[in-house]
Each structure stands twice: as C-alpha cells, then as structure tokens.
Structure 1
Amino acid sequence: MTVELGVIEGFYGPMWSWAERRKLLKTLAKHGYGFYLYAPKADPYLRRRWQEPHPAAEFAALADFAELCEHEGVRFGVGLSPFEIFNRFDESARHALAAKLKALDRIGVQELAILFDDMRSETPSLASTQAEIMRWVKAHSAAAMFSICPTYYSDDPVLDRVFGERPSDYLETLGAELDKDVRVFWTGEEVCSREISPGHLKHVGDRLGRKPVLWDNYPVNDGDRMSQHLHLRGFTGRPAANAAHIAGHGINPALQPTLSTVPAITLAESYRLGPDYQYGHSLRHAAREALGLDLADQILTDLLVLQDAGLGRIGEEKRANLENVYGAFSHPAAEEILRWLRGGYQVTDEMVATQ
C-alpha cells in the first residue's frame, strides 16, 4: 500500500531561501513527494503578525513557488497560524481572516492548513470553537483541500505542561464537529516520536473518526537542544504498514535543506520496499545520490560526531579539523555543515517563544 508523502516546512529558527526551497522541492518530487506545505514559524505574516499582508517581494516569491509546485506536480499549500484567534473569534478577527484568505486565494493555494499548534488557550470549548473556525474558513476560501493542526497534536504530556491541560475528549470532539473532508495532523505518541506504530495510528483514527495525516517531526532539528545536532540517518520506527492508517505522511525537515533530502529519500524507500527496507543501506544510497560519492562517504564517516555527539561535545581542535574537511568540498550540503559548525543554525528558546 502506498501513501502520499509531503514536506511540511513547519520549523522554528532561520528561514530558508527561496532557491533552497526550489531545489529541495525538485529533488523530492522525483521521489514521489506529492505535497508541500509552506508554514515556517519564522514567517511572521503567517503567525504572530498574520493580520498584516506579506511584503510585495515575499508575496511574489510565494506565488512563484506555487507555480513551481504546479509544474512539478506537487500540491502547494500554506499553513496559516492565526495566533490564538480561538480565544476571540469576533467580527474584527473574521474581517482580518477574510482579507488574509483572499490574498492566499490570489496565489493559487491548493491546500489551506489552519495551524493551532503551540498556542495557549483561554477558551473552555476549545475543540468546538476550532471546528467553528474551520467551517468559517472553508466558506471563505477557494482552496480545494483543508487541513488543521490541533492545539493538542500528540499524546505527549509536554503539550499539557506548556500550553495548559487539554480539555477532556478534545480530540474526539474535534473529530466529531469538523467536516469529514478536513484533514487532521498528528505527530504520534510524542511531539518528536521515536516510533510511530500502526496500532497507535489506528487508535488515533478511531478517536478522530478519520485517518490522521502524519506530521513527522523528523528530521527537524529546531529548538535549543536539537539544533545542536544534524539529523541525517535514514528513517526508522515508521513501518510501511502505517500506510493503512494514515491519509498522508508529511515530514518537518531539518534547518539544513540540502541535508534534509537525504533522510527524506529514505522515507520514500521505506514505503516502497516495505519489509525489505534497510535503513543503513538506504542511507548510504540516498546520501550518495543527493551529495555525491565523496561527500556522502565523508558524512557517513563523521555521522557519530555530526548526529550523535553534536556541537556541545565537539572540541575546538575537532571543530577546526571538520571545518578544514568540509571546506574542501564545493557543495551546498558541505556549506550547511560549515554554517552549523559555526553556530549559524542555533535556535534559542527565545526564538521559539517569539516566532
């Protein structure tokens, strides 16, 4: 059984360039990735300042990217996070939201996702209010497909600690009151799940009354702790049997766009090969395809340092040696490693709290 794969650009931290997005899109489209959701937390005009229009140059670039997606046969979507709108969905909020939806219609957004993740609620009937907002959005948008990220998008208790205790039967109420064609994102038993099993996904689908769309927080490496590490290894803990219980599988990529293509290719292979998938073998194959033989082999040699040890455990001598090694390569992936070694991808707690 196959499943629709996609990219959900939903991380905190420094933004990608449009050239980086275009290159990643073209690479992954060749491997069967069928949708792209533009939703970086650092785009203020989709989150904290969502009521304001994008600057003209950024709006034009977004429209150009939508055209590229269409050319590549990839469904283009935008993830809009109208920040804490569920706490006061009044006439003023509706007016601002209508203006934003009209602007997104002009781009030709095919999928519109309303993202309620990482926000604090002051609303007693949270699920019902969010379902009401989605119905209103559907009535005022020309998009062909609609998705939602719940405030509680995982069973992980960290969400309750940070954003307040979830209402009882939140997921069941949301699933019952949403239109049946609205897709619902889910990250698994954890925000960054080590493993995602068919049994868990079936259980979530039963609670929602629909198959969830998996928002997979690998290889994403945002946050103070994770940005210290490069996430390069092939996908594990996502058996191909999950396909029977999900409506799609989107990956939240790493801060490093070129390096992100390596694990992304292994996910496509894991579904294609099913029980014959070998993550180590697939990693070597994907790395050599995406990076070239020499750079791939060098990264695989340094994998324990780059992914497991991380910046905090690399001494100055080792760091200098790695800079010399990767400085000898003329490749965007090597440039990403150099930038990472020099702290250019560090994501602070303040960035997460304010983006």
Structure 2
Amino acid sequence: MTVELGVIEGFYGPMWSWAERGRLMTSLAAHGYSFYLYAPKADSYLRRRWQEPHPADQTAELESFARLCRREGVRFGVGLSPFEIFNRFDDAARETLTAKLRMLDRAGIQELAILFDDMRSEVPELARTQAEIVRWIRDNTKATTISMCPTYYSDDPVLDRVFGERPADYLETLGAELPKDVRVFWTGEEVCSREISPGHLKRVGDRLGRKPVLWDNYPVNDGDRMSRHLHLRAFTGRPANNAAHLAGHAINPALQPALTAIPALTLAESYRQGPNYQYGQALHHAARELLGVDLANQLQTDLLVLQDAGLERISDEKRQALIHTYDAFDHPAANEILRWLAGDYQVTDEMVQTQ
C-alpha cells in the first residue's frame, strides 16, 4: 500500500541554501517523493513579517526552485504562517494578504499551506475563524492544492500548556467548516511522535471528516536539545497500513539536508516493503546509495555517538578524532557532520521564540 510522500521544510534554526534544497528535492523525487513545501521558520517573510514583501532576490530564488520542482514532477508549495492573523482578520489584513498571495502566484506555487502552528490566541470560536481565513485564501489564490496546519495539530498536552487549553470540539468544528478539498496536517499523538498507528489516524480522520496529512516530525532535529543530535536512523513506528488512513505523509527534515535523505529513503522503502520492511537493512541500503560504501560504513560505525550520545557527551578527544575521520571524505554529508561537530547547527531557545 502506498501514500503520497513529501517534504515540509518547517523547522526552526538556520536556513538551507537553495542549492542544498534542490539537491535534496531531486534526490527524493527519484524515490517517489512527489511534493515539497517550503516553510522554514527562519523565513520571516512567511511568518512574523508576512505583511512585508519578500526581497526581489528571494522571490527570484522561489521562482527558480518552483521551475526545478516542476521539471522533476514534484508539486511545489509554500507554507504561509500569517502570524496571529486570526486575532484580527479585517479589511486591512485581507488587503495585505492579497498582496502576499499575488506574489506567491507569480512565483508559480502549486500548493499553498496555511500554517497556524505555534501561535497563541484568545479568539472565541478559533476553529471557525481559522476556517474562514482558509476559505478566503482558497478563493483568492491560484494554487490548486490548499492545506492547513491547525493550532492544535497533535493530541500532545504540551500544546495546551504552551498555547492555552484547546477549545472543545476544535477538530470537529474545523473539519465541518473547512471545504472538503482542504488538506489538514497532523503530527500524531505527540508533537514528535515515536509511533503512529492506524487506529490513531482513523480516529483523527473521523473527527476531521477527512484523512489527515501526516506532518512527521522525524528526522527533524531543531530545538536546543534535539539539535545536539543527528537523526540518521531509519524510520520505525510507521506501519505501511497507515496509508489507508492518510491523504499524504510529509517529513519535516533535519537541519542537515544531505543527511536527511538517508532516513527519508527508508520511509519510502517501508511503504514499498510493508510487513517485509527491515529498518536496519533499509538504513544500510539508503546510506550506501547516498554516501558510497566507505562513508556509509563509517557513519554506521559512529551511529551511537552521532545520534545517541550527541554533542554534550562527546569528549574533546573523540570530537577531534571524528573531525579527522570525516575531513577525509569529500561529500556534502561528511561536511554536514563536520559543521555539526563545530556547533554550526545549534538551535537556541531564542531562535525558537523569535522565528
């Protein structure tokens, strides 16, 4: 059983280059990934400064990437987070939003995702207000696919602690008010779900009145704690029969684009293999295909250190040995490991609070 696979670049932290983004997209397209949503939290013109136009050079890069995606047969979209617009969706907000939508239309997007995640609101009838905004956007964009991320995108109680208690019947109201062709993201029972089951997805789909699109927060490693670890292992806890209850499965990638491709390939393999999937073998095959035999073997040798121990538990002596080892490889993935060892990918609490 298969499901539409994609990427939603939705992490906090440092931005990728467009070349890095393009290499990942083309690599995954060859393995069945069919959509790519550009939504990094660090692009402030899609989030806290959404009312301002993108600079001309960034708009040109978006247009170029959209063309590249079309050539690869990948649906390109943008995740727009009109920050806390639901607190005041008036004529002025509509006028500003119209200008942003026109720019995105010119860039050639095929999908527009409206992301209400990680925002606080005291608005009564939050679900109805958000559905109204999505309906208005749907009627004012040329994008042919519309998706949205709710404020409460998981059962995880951490969302209630941080953003306030979720309204009663939030998902049911959202599902009833949204047009049936609008796709809705969901991360599972937790923000970063260790396991996602068919039973859980069926329950969520019943509440929404549609199959959700899984926003899978693996292999993402943003945040102060997670950015100290590389997420390299193969996917587990996502049985292939989840496909019957999903409209799509999007991964939120790690901060390291070349290394992200390793677990990403194993997810595609898990859906192809179904009950015959073996996560250890999948990691072995994906690493060799992407890195070559020598670098793949080295990475698997160091897996416990890179993924489990993390930067805080690596001694200075071990760090220097790893630098010496990976400096010998001429490969983007090895360079990412070196940058990680140097602390270049560290995400601070301030980044998360301000992006």
Which TM bucket (shorter chain)?
over 0.9
3-state SS of paired residue (2:185) = strand
Work out the number of aligned pairs and report it. 355
Could you say which residue in structure 1 is the equivalent of 2:111?
Answer: 111
Q: Say yes or no: does 1:306 pair with 2:309.
A: no
**Deviation at residue 91 of structure 1 after TM alignment:** 1.1
Could you say which residue in structure 2 is the equivalent of 1:188?
Answer: 188
3-state SS of paired residue (2:139) = helix
Q: Say yes or no: does 1:283 pair with 2:274.
A: no
3-state SS of paired residue (1:330) = coil
3-state SS of paired residue (1:323) = helix
Q: How does 1:159-308 map to 2 (within 5 A)?
A: 159-308=159-308
Q: Deviations over 1:38-80 (max 9, x none)?
A: 0000000000100111111110001000000000000000000
Unaligned segments of structure 1, at least 5 residues? none
Q: Deviations over 1:124-161 (max 9, x none)?
A: 11000000001100111111010000000000000001
3-state SS of paired residue (1:140) = coil
**Deviation at residue 108 of structure 1 after TM alignment:** 1.2
| Distance in 2 (alpha carbons) for counterparts of 1:173 and 1:312 | 44
**Deviation at residue 24 of structure 1 after TM alignment:** 0.4
TM superposition score normalised by structure 2:
1.00
Q: Deviations over 1:189-230 (max 9, x none)?
A: 000000000000000000000000000000000000000000
| Distance in 2 (alpha carbons) for counterparts of 1:258 and 1:143 | 29
| Distance in 2 (alpha carbons) for counterparts of 1:155 and 1:242 | 18
Unaligned segments of structure 2, at least 5 residues? none
| Distance in 2 (alpha carbons) for counterparts of 1:288 and 1:53 | 43
Could you say which residue in structure 1 is the equivalent of 2:87?
Answer: 87
| Distance in 2 (alpha carbons) for counterparts of 1:292 and 1:62 | 31
| Distance in 2 (alpha carbons) for counterparts of 1:217 and 1:124 | 29
Q: How does 1:116-131 map to 2 (within 5 A)?
A: 116-131=116-131
**Deviation at residue 269 of structure 1 after TM alignment:** 0.3
| Distance in 2 (alpha carbons) for counterparts of 1:22 and 1:49 | 25
Percent identical:
78
3-state SS of paired residue (2:13) = coil
Could you say which residue in structure 1 is the equivalent of 2:32?
Answer: 32
Counterpart of 2:240, as a letter, is A
**Deviation at residue 92 of structure 1 after TM alignment:** 1.0
Counterpart of 1:217, as a letter, is N
Could you say which residue in structure 2 is the equivalent of 1:321?
Answer: 321
| Distance in 2 (alpha carbons) for counterparts of 1:157 and 1:2 | 31
Counterpart of 2:54, as a letter, is H
TM superposition score normalised by structure 1:
1.00
Counterpart of 1:175, as a letter, is G
| Distance in 1 (alpha carbons) for counterparts of 2:191 and 2:289 | 30
Counterpart of 1:72, as a letter, is E
Could you say which residue in structure 2 is the equivalent of 1:52?
Answer: 52
CA RMSD, aligned part only? 0.4
| Distance in 2 (alpha carbons) for counterparts of 1:313 and 1:155 | 32
| Distance in 2 (alpha carbons) for counterparts of 1:78 and 1:226 | 25
Could you say which residue in structure 2 is the equivalent of 1:10?
Answer: 10
